[in-house]
Protein backbone atom coordinates (compact mmCIF):
# COMPACT_ATOMS: atom_id res chain seq x y z
CA UNK A 1 0.00 0.00 0.00
CA UNK A 2 2.84 2.40 0.82
CA UNK A 3 4.46 1.63 -2.54
CA UNK A 4 1.27 2.64 -4.34
CA UNK A 5 1.28 6.01 -2.56
CA UNK A 6 4.95 6.50 -3.38
CA UNK A 7 4.40 5.73 -7.08
CA UNK A 8 1.33 7.99 -7.21
CA UNK A 9 3.34 10.76 -5.61
CA UNK A 10 6.25 10.27 -8.05
CA UNK A 11 3.85 10.21 -10.98
CA UNK A 12 2.25 13.49 -9.80
CA UNK A 13 5.66 15.15 -9.41
CA UNK A 14 6.77 14.02 -12.86
CA UNK A 15 3.54 15.31 -14.42
CA UNK A 16 3.96 18.69 -12.66
CA UNK A 17 7.56 18.95 -13.88
CA UNK A 18 6.57 18.11 -17.45
CA UNK A 19 3.75 20.70 -17.34
CA UNK A 20 6.12 23.32 -15.88
CA UNK A 21 8.69 22.55 -18.57
CA UNK A 22 6.01 22.85 -21.26
CA UNK A 23 4.84 26.20 -19.81
CA UNK A 24 8.43 27.46 -19.69
CA UNK A 25 8.96 26.41 -23.30
CA UNK A 26 5.78 28.20 -24.43
CA UNK A 27 6.71 31.32 -22.46
CA UNK A 28 10.17 31.35 -24.07
CA UNK A 29 8.66 30.91 -27.56
CA UNK A 30 6.31 33.85 -26.88
CA UNK A 31 9.21 36.03 -25.67
CA UNK A 32 11.11 35.21 -28.87
CA UNK A 33 8.06 35.99 -31.04
CA UNK A 34 7.52 39.33 -29.29
CA UNK A 35 11.22 40.11 -29.63
CA UNK A 36 10.93 39.78 -33.41
CA UNK A 37 7.90 42.10 -33.75
CA UNK A 38 8.63 45.27 -35.69
CA UNK A 39 6.99 48.66 -35.33
CA UNK A 40 5.50 48.14 -38.79
CA UNK A 41 3.87 44.85 -37.71
CA UNK A 42 2.44 46.42 -34.56
CA UNK A 43 1.04 49.42 -36.44
CA UNK A 44 -0.45 47.12 -39.09
CA UNK A 45 -2.17 45.06 -36.40
CA UNK A 46 -3.49 48.18 -34.64
CA UNK A 47 -4.82 49.64 -37.89
CA UNK A 48 -6.77 46.43 -38.57
CA UNK A 49 -7.98 45.97 -34.99
CA UNK A 50 -10.81 47.38 -32.87
CA UNK A 51 -11.22 51.14 -32.84
CA UNK A 52 -9.80 51.52 -36.34
CA UNK A 53 -12.28 54.29 -37.15
CA UNK A 54 -11.03 56.35 -34.18
CA UNK A 55 -7.52 56.21 -35.58
CA UNK A 56 -4.13 55.86 -33.94
CA UNK A 57 -2.16 58.63 -32.26
CA UNK A 58 1.46 59.08 -33.31
CA UNK A 59 3.98 61.29 -31.56
CA UNK A 60 6.55 62.51 -34.05
CA UNK A 61 10.20 63.19 -33.22
CA UNK A 62 9.54 66.91 -33.71
CA UNK A 63 6.97 66.91 -30.91
CA UNK A 64 3.83 66.99 -33.05
CA UNK A 65 0.94 64.64 -32.31
CA UNK A 66 -1.02 63.18 -35.23
CA UNK A 67 -4.18 61.12 -35.21
CA UNK A 68 -4.05 58.93 -38.28
CA UNK A 69 -6.01 56.16 -39.94
CA UNK A 70 -3.35 54.15 -41.82
CA UNK A 71 -4.32 53.11 -45.33
CA UNK A 72 -1.08 51.63 -46.71
CA UNK A 73 2.17 50.35 -45.26
CA UNK A 74 5.42 50.36 -47.17
CA UNK A 75 8.81 49.05 -46.11
CA UNK A 76 9.77 52.12 -44.08
CA UNK A 77 6.70 54.39 -44.20
CA UNK A 78 2.95 54.50 -43.81
CA UNK A 79 0.31 56.43 -45.72
CA UNK A 80 -2.68 57.58 -43.71
CA UNK A 81 -5.72 59.80 -43.54
CA UNK A 82 -4.84 62.68 -41.20
CA UNK A 83 -7.87 62.77 -38.90
CA UNK A 84 -7.04 65.93 -36.95
CA UNK A 85 -5.53 67.97 -39.79
CA UNK A 86 -8.45 70.29 -40.47
CA UNK A 87 -10.72 70.76 -43.46
CA UNK A 88 -10.95 68.38 -46.35
CA UNK A 89 -9.56 64.90 -46.26
CA UNK A 90 -5.81 65.42 -46.16
CA UNK A 91 -3.52 62.45 -46.43
CA UNK A 92 0.08 62.09 -45.49
CA UNK A 93 3.18 59.92 -45.53
CA UNK A 94 4.97 59.27 -42.26
CA UNK A 95 8.43 57.66 -42.31
CA UNK A 96 8.82 55.15 -39.48
CA UNK A 97 12.02 56.96 -38.45
CA UNK A 98 9.89 60.06 -37.68
CA UNK A 99 7.72 58.21 -35.14
CA UNK A 100 8.87 58.89 -31.58
CA UNK A 101 5.99 56.94 -29.98
CA UNK A 102 2.63 55.35 -30.69
CA UNK A 103 -0.11 56.12 -28.17
CA UNK A 104 -2.41 53.12 -27.77
CA UNK A 105 -5.79 52.94 -26.08
CA UNK A 106 -6.18 49.94 -23.73
CA UNK A 107 -8.24 47.98 -26.27
CA UNK A 108 -5.47 48.38 -28.88
CA UNK A 109 -2.59 46.85 -26.89
CA UNK A 110 -3.48 43.14 -27.14
CA UNK A 111 -4.37 43.25 -30.87
CA UNK A 112 -1.06 45.03 -31.57
CA UNK A 113 0.77 41.98 -30.20
CA UNK A 114 -1.14 39.39 -32.21
CA UNK A 115 0.80 37.43 -34.81
CA UNK A 116 0.29 38.55 -38.38
CA UNK A 117 -2.15 36.38 -40.31
CA UNK A 118 -0.61 34.39 -43.12
CA UNK A 119 -0.92 36.62 -46.16
CA UNK A 120 0.57 36.78 -49.56
CA UNK A 121 3.41 39.26 -49.83
CA UNK A 122 2.41 42.39 -51.69
CA UNK A 123 4.71 44.57 -53.74
CA UNK A 124 3.87 47.68 -51.68
CA UNK A 125 5.35 45.95 -48.61
CA UNK A 126 8.79 46.23 -50.22
CA UNK A 127 8.50 49.80 -51.55
CA UNK A 128 10.71 52.29 -49.76
CA UNK A 129 10.08 55.99 -49.10
CA UNK A 130 12.35 57.25 -51.94
CA UNK A 131 10.26 55.33 -54.50
CA UNK A 132 7.02 56.94 -53.25
CA UNK A 133 8.62 60.40 -53.26
CA UNK A 134 9.83 59.84 -56.84
CA UNK A 135 6.25 59.07 -57.85
CA UNK A 136 5.05 62.31 -56.22
CA UNK A 137 7.84 64.12 -58.08
CA UNK A 138 6.76 62.60 -61.39
CA UNK A 139 3.15 63.65 -60.75
CA UNK A 140 4.27 67.21 -59.85
CA UNK A 141 2.16 67.20 -56.66
CA UNK A 142 2.14 70.23 -54.37
CA UNK A 143 3.29 69.06 -50.94
CA UNK A 144 3.71 70.29 -47.42
CA UNK A 145 6.83 68.76 -45.86
CA UNK A 146 7.32 68.94 -42.12
CA UNK A 147 10.87 68.79 -40.78
CA UNK A 148 12.55 69.71 -37.50
CA UNK A 149 13.00 73.23 -38.92
CA UNK A 150 9.31 73.67 -39.68
CA UNK A 151 6.90 73.27 -42.57
CA UNK A 152 8.05 73.83 -46.15
CA UNK A 153 5.70 73.89 -49.14
CA UNK A 154 6.42 73.23 -52.76
CA UNK A 155 6.98 70.64 -55.45
CA UNK A 156 9.64 67.95 -55.52
CA UNK A 157 12.03 68.42 -58.43
CA UNK A 158 14.13 65.27 -57.91
CA UNK A 159 14.78 62.52 -55.38
CA UNK A 160 18.23 61.10 -54.69
CA UNK A 161 19.21 58.12 -52.59
CA UNK A 162 18.87 59.91 -49.24
CA UNK A 163 17.65 63.41 -50.12
CA UNK A 164 15.21 65.35 -52.26
CA UNK A 165 15.24 68.73 -54.01
CA UNK A 166 12.18 70.85 -53.26
CA UNK A 167 11.17 73.88 -55.34
CA UNK A 168 9.70 76.07 -52.60
CA UNK A 169 6.61 78.03 -53.64
CA UNK A 170 3.36 79.20 -52.09
CA UNK A 171 0.23 77.09 -51.84
CA UNK A 172 -2.09 77.64 -54.78
CA UNK A 173 0.62 78.58 -57.22
CA UNK A 174 1.90 76.28 -59.93
CA UNK A 175 5.53 75.23 -59.98
CA UNK A 176 6.77 77.85 -62.43
CA UNK A 177 10.27 79.32 -62.36
CA UNK A 178 8.83 82.78 -61.68
CA UNK A 179 6.86 81.54 -58.65
CA UNK A 180 9.67 79.51 -57.06
CA UNK A 181 11.09 81.37 -54.06
CA UNK A 182 14.12 79.10 -53.63
CA UNK A 183 15.23 75.46 -53.72
CA UNK A 184 16.00 73.21 -50.76
CA UNK A 185 17.87 69.97 -50.53
CA UNK A 186 16.24 68.03 -47.69
CA UNK A 187 17.75 64.81 -46.29
CA UNK A 188 15.05 62.13 -46.18
CA UNK A 189 16.03 61.38 -42.57
CA UNK A 190 14.85 64.88 -41.62
CA UNK A 191 11.32 64.42 -42.99
CA UNK A 192 8.67 63.96 -40.31
CA UNK A 193 5.55 64.19 -42.44
CA UNK A 194 4.70 64.67 -46.12
CA UNK A 195 1.19 66.07 -46.35
CA UNK A 196 -0.86 65.83 -49.53
CA UNK A 197 -3.98 67.91 -49.95
- Over residues 54-95, the pLDDT tens digits come to 889 999 998 999 999 999 999 999 999 999 877 677 999 999
Does the pLDDT value for residue 142 go beyond 90?
yes
Residues 82 and 115: their CA atoms lie apart, in Å, by: 27
Residues 103-126: pLDDT tens digits? 988 888 888 788 766 665 677 888
**CATH 2.30.30.100 assigned to 39-196:** yes
DSSP string, 90-115: -EEEEEGGGEEEEE--HHHHHHHTSP
Give me the pLDDT at residue 100, please: 96
Q: What pLDDT is recorded for position 124?
A: 80
Beta partners for 186? 164
Confidence of residue 51 (pLDDT cuts 50, 70, 90): low
Pair 25, 95: CB distance under 8 Å: no
Percentage with pLDDT > 70 across the chain: 85
Amino acid sequence: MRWDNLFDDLEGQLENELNAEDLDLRAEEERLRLGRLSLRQRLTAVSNGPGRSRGTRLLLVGGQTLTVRPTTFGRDWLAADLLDAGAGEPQGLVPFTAIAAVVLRPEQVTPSLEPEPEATARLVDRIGLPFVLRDLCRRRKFLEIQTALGVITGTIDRVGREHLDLAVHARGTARRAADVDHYRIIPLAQIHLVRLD
